[in-house]
Amino acid sequence: MTGTRRCAACGELFAPRPQTPDQQYCSALACQRQRKYRWHRERMQSDPDYRQNQIQAQVGWAARNPEYWCKYRLRNPDYTKRNRELQRIRNGKRIGIAKMDVSDCAPPFPSGLYRLSPIGHEAIAKMGACTVQLTVLPMT
């Protein structure tokens, strides 16, 4: 069958399936992944309910799998090293960025509102909890 349409991802010609005449992406695995990723990204920007659901699912997953990123970093020392170096470069470029001692095992929470309450030390334990806005900066 000859192609009649250009794939929105790879640019190759393909023939849309009869069941999906509006098909924009060819059936290659990478192009289908790209389609799903773009759909997800678009929904994250345009649909507050979808975004909230995704964030809650991510927070829930991270809470159920606190060791995931820690183990991932241990399994992938090159990733960890590269990530640290890139972060050092990013930190250097941003003037006034707060120096934070973030543990390698810290779960990757998404941006959003969080309740911040002191733990441990008695003196600061008297402080009340407050709500903070955490913004996860994109990796560029």
Pick the binder of Zn ion from 16, 24, 28, 68 (CB under 5 A).
Answer: 28
Residues 136, 62: Cα–Cα separation, whole Å = 15
Taking the complex as a whole, how short is the minimal distance between the CB of residue 23 and Zn ion, in angstroms? Answer: 10
| 112 torsion bin: left (phi>0), alpha (psi -120 to 50), beta (else) | left
Instruction: Please tell me what DSSP assigns to residue 2.
Output: -
Q: Where are the alpha helices (DSSP H) in 65-130?
A: 68-75, 77-93, 122-125
| Count of residues engaged in binding Zn ion, rule: CB under 5 A | 6
Taking the complex as a whole, how short is the minimal distance between the CB of residue 77 and Zn ion, in angstroms? Answer: 34
Of residues 37 and 79, the one with the C-beta less far from Zn ion: 37
Taking the complex as a whole, how short is the minimal distance between the CB of residue 36 and Zn ion, in angstroms? Answer: 13
Residues 21, 26: Cα–Cα separation, whole Å = 12
> Measured between alpha carbons, how far is residue 34 from residues 8, 25, 40, 84 in Å?
9, 9, 10, 28
**Residues between 72 and 91 that touch Zn ion (CB under 5 A):** none
Pick the binder of Zn ion from 10, 55, 59, 70 (CB under 5 A).
Answer: 10
- Please identify, among the stretches 30-38, 43-51, 55-63, 126-134, the one whose residues bind Zn ion according to the rule CB under 5 A: 30-38
| Chain residues that interact with Zn ion, rule: CB under 5 A | 7, 9-10, 26, 28, 31
